[in-house]
Amino acid sequence: MKTRYANPYVVGALLGLVLLFSFYTMGRGLGSSSSFARIATAGVNLVAPEHAAANTYYSKYLKGGRSPLMAWLVFLTLGAGLGGLFSAFISNRVKGEVIRGPNIGVSARLWLALFGGILSGFAARLARGCTSGQALTGASELAFGSWVFMFCIFAGAYATAYFLRKEWL
């Protein structure tokens, strides 16, 4: 059976209100990608604290004497996990599986997921944000760079899509 999800316009409008609430209460928008950089930093700091302290980028997250994980966006990401789980649970969508097109094997799909994840993790740090922290948040504030960034995401994806049609279609 095919799934028909919630109407994207309704979801979008509600998401806009959540974002507005975040701006109103906190003076900042949504985001998540730096949570992963913080997890990475926490890991490196655990294994090799001197190395982490010597690196300009890790030490950015180690400032303030707090754990790099005691950060606003880390808690937001944890919340997003809970909210996503709740939504999937009430619709019976919690299921162990690998999402892939009919023409690709499981291991190939997982390697591509890993590679795409690495690219995204790197790119989000380079651009100082991801689809939510940079594109969604920045664009609603009408930040110039965020609009450029958002159109570049679409450009990069559309330029690549043709070569990956076997993965999805």
Partner 1 sequence: MGPLYKFGWFDFAYSLQLAGLIGVFFGFLLERAGFGNARKLVAVFYLRDFAVLKVMFTAIVVCMLGLLFFSVFGWIDLSKVYLLPTYIWPQIVGGFVLGMGFVIGGYCPTTSVVSTVSGKLDGLIFVVGMILGSIIFAELFPLIETFYSSGSMGAVRLSDVLKVNSGIIALLASLMAVGAYWLVEKVENKLGDPETLPVGSKKVKLWAAALFVALGLVLAVINPDRIVAKRASAHVEPKPKTEAVQKAPPKPAEPASSGAVIIEDEGC
Closest separation between CB of residue 4 and partner 1, Å? 6
Task: Show the tokens assigned to 91.
Answer: 């619709």
Closest separation between CB of residue 49 and partner 1, Å? 14
Q: For residues 139 and 135, what is the distance between their CA atoms, to the nearest angstrom? A: 5
Q: 37: Cβ–Cβ under 8 A, 6 or more apart, which residues?
A: 61, 121, 124, 125
Instruction: Select from 10, 11, 29 the least CA-distant residue to 20.
Output: 29
Q: Return left, alpha or beta for 2; rule: phi > 0 is left, psi -120 to 50 is alpha, else beta.
A: beta
Task: Show the tokens assigned to 63.
Answer: 């400032």
Residues 129, 35 contacting (CB under 8 angstroms)? no
| C-alpha Rg value of the chain to the nearest Å | 18
Closest separation between CB of residue 48 and partner 1, Å? 11
Closest separation between CB of residue 50 and partner 1, Å? 14
By C-beta, is 49 or 157 nearer to partner 1?
157
Amino acid identity of residue 42, one-letter, is A
Q: 122: Cβ–Cβ under 8 A, 6 or more apart, which residues?
A: none
Closest separation between CB of residue 141 and partner 1, Å? 6
